[in-house]
Chain A
Amino acid sequence: MSILQVTNLCKKIGKKEILKNVSFAIEKGDILAFIGANGAGKTTTIKCILGLQKMDSGTITINGYDIKKDFVKAISSVGAIVESPDVYQYLTGMENLEMQASFYKDTNFEDIMRVVRLVGLENRIYDKVSKYSLGMKQRLGIAISLINNPDLLILDEPTNGLDPEGIKELRELLLKLAKNGTGILISSHNLSELESFCNKVCIIQKGKIITENSITELKTTSENKYHLKVDNASHARKVLGKKATLLDDYNLELFADEEGIAQSINLLVEHHVKIYEVIKESLSLEEAFITIAGGEKIV
């Protein structure tokens, strides 16, 4: 049974179709990158999953419980940050955590201290949240979303306001959680941050899912980019044809799969072009995403 199963989710606001037949699933240990431009329907999808907005049709189940019919059972195994970590500013971090923890059965002080340590807020947890930086609020938000040991963790733009060190820590934390079986849905603008630790990607554009794949699948279906340093770049460009792009007198770029690059090198040698360097540049998730979205940069 999937931790999260979204099936044919549709939502209209007024006459505008915000979501059209959105379907995807998250299994135990999945980290799913949920990618889309502003207004594509990411946050609306997340809000429907959490029951914060009503859907027009479709079903969402969490651990097999329907979010509409069995809301309390479904939601009790979910932790989430939506849009931004909005907590009570006039309370301390600790008071916020204690309050959120009190809403779940069987949470105790040990659980609270565990999540505080997980996000590294031990030193500032007794300060008022109004004195926190955005990054610290983000950490507190993550701590709150983990307080009930959720099976499904939903993080909407969690890297906002985190410094590189914080992002690295978050990455390690999420990998650890996933290893223990938590399903994670994570949306972010910063796609390159996601690629290093997500195992699934789901791209949404104008309310429609355009692809749902594993990351490795996404990458291998595309050609790779190669960087070549030669003695006469313009000559080489003529030999290789339109596949190559001239960078300057000595450097050019080439898109090709593995067979293609071997042929190209052969061709250059035959035409007496001296090759100094051939560097394979791995295709980033963002570039793969652009390729799939039809070359249109939508983020």
Chain B
Amino acid sequence: MFNLIKAETKKILKKKSFLIVTIIFILYAILINVLYKNLNTITSVTEYDIADLQEENSHLDLSKEEDLAAFISNLTRIEIENLKNEYNTYPQKFLIENYLYSPMYHLLESRYYDSKSDKLTTLETEYNTTLELIKKGDWKYFVNANLTKYQNELSQTKDSNEKKRFEALIDLEEYRLANNVIYDESNYLHNALEDIKINLTEYLNLKNKSSLTSEEEKRYAYLQEQIAQDKYILDNKVDILNNTNLKSVFANFASEFGLFILIYIILIFGPIVSEEYNKGTIKYLLIKPYRRSTILLSKLLTGLLFIPFIILLMLALEFLIGGLILGFSSINIPVLIYDSAKNILVVYPIFKYTILSLLSILPMYLILGILAFTLSTITASTSAAITITFLFYLLGNVISNLALVYKFKIFKFFVSLHWDFSYLIARTSNPYHFSINFSLVILGLYIIVMLCLAFLYFRKKDVKNI
């Protein structure tokens, strides 16, 4: 038996097709990693077309009230963009956008509305002071200003929810000072701080609301997840949202490279019996001192042993290729999964996550592999085994999607609804509301039926004359 498995392994490894698929995988992995390297990380900032705004302004009639308002708004935007282009570094860029816009707008507004000169002077002074501070890059001034503002508001408010909000905002500003987090959109800590700041009010409002509509519930769950994630980033100082690194490729390994696992499996199981018949080598194999069922079993076991082997091979190749292209340093960053039912953040080390997510869809590969194996045995045709298995995979996906819409009872027994356990890793519930045990029973039944067919057939089969 051991010798048979050894021989089968040799046959698979020595075939050109195995080498070819591995080479294609390497090329594909290189492309994927290059793609990840070039993914745009910074959340897309709204781009303003200055020429467009100027064009629009030239057509406005300033004697009309609403046109004037639009004119001033456009002009402010143009000035801000020009300043941002002038000081194309952080924190200046961020401060101009967030702390200079309002003084600039008020200044321009009072200019065009013929305000009193003393008000205009005040506004001009305010604008110039702010601009000077920004030019110097004195970001701490703005943090301290915020802190003072929040502390004042905290001391004045009596509403307990408002109190919580200001306390949280003060915490954020203090974190910024303590950790020297410059206003810089390429800094993940800055992004996390700003993200919480943006979401905080809405989150607290929803949290304190007594009853939520289903829309609001979804939104609340989303905000909960976002804030939990941002908090994790701030507490642990890890850049988990960055997806231009090796960790990110590994987190998406199953979806990026899953097709290759399928290709390898079909490639191994599709010809495993049929090719021996087609090439006539079955005659040598069957006149060796083994029972036919032993020979078939050794083929099955070899194929099954190859599944972990090819997965490890792919992981190792990706680790090398991805590491060379994206660097290895991100491998310590974990994957965070938010469990909405328990309201906790589950932290997976990256390799554990990758392996678990692959394991969760392993039943699919197992079913498809055994299907190819059975077809190869019964039809003695490699092309039939490969084509039908691939079609079954496509059909399975279609039926899985249909079953989400149409609740026909018959779908319950179709295997593709049961071969994906990734919901366990994603910490969501089964989309079809099946229990794990029911899914396992269905999977077991499919496997037993297919294997029985293959073994009964192989034991009886005559080797036909050419």
Contact = CB atoms under 8 A, between A and B. Distances in A.
Interface string A83-126: 11011111100010001101110000000000000000000000
Interface in A21-69: 43-44, 47, 50-54
A146 to B, nearest CB: 13
Nearest to B285: A103
B149 interface: no
Contacts of B279: 86, 88-89
Size category of the binding interface on chain B: 20 to 34
B408 interface: no
A52 B290 contact: no
A78 interface: yes
B164 interface: no
B14 A95 contact: yes
Q: How large is the interface on A (under 10, 10 to 19, 20 to 34, 35 or more residues)?
A: 20 to 34
Nearest to B16: A90
Residue from B288, B289, B290 whose CB has the most chain A CB atoms within 10 Å = B289
Interface in A135-179: 144
Contact of B465 (A44, A50, A88): A44
Interface string B320-344: 0000000000000000000000000
B287 A144 contact: no
Interface in B2-16: 3-4, 6-7, 10-11, 14-16
Contacts of B218: none
A52 B463 contact: yes
Contacts of B465: 43-44, 47, 83
A54 B461 CA distance: 8
Contact of B283 (A76, A86, A91): A86
A53 B462 contact: yes
A50 B283 CA distance: 9
Interface in B280-316: 280-281, 283-284, 286-291
Nearest to B7: A99
B433 interface: no
A88 B280 CA distance: 9
A52 B462 contact: yes
Nearest to B281: A86
A91 B284 CA distance: 15
Contacts of A52: 283, 286-287, 462-463
B158 interface: no
Contacts of B286: 50-52
Interface string B1-39: 001101100110011100000000000000000000000
Interface of B: 3-4, 6-7, 10-11, 14-16, 279-281, 283-284, 286-291, 460, 462-463, 465-466
24 contacts: A43-B465, A44-B465, A47-B463, A51-B287, A52-B283, A52-B287, A52-B462, A71-B291, A73-B289, A78-B287, A80-B283, A80-B287, A82-B287, A83-B280, A87-B281, A88-B14, A90-B14, A91-B14, A95-B10, A99-B7, A100-B284, A102-B7, A103-B288, A103-B289
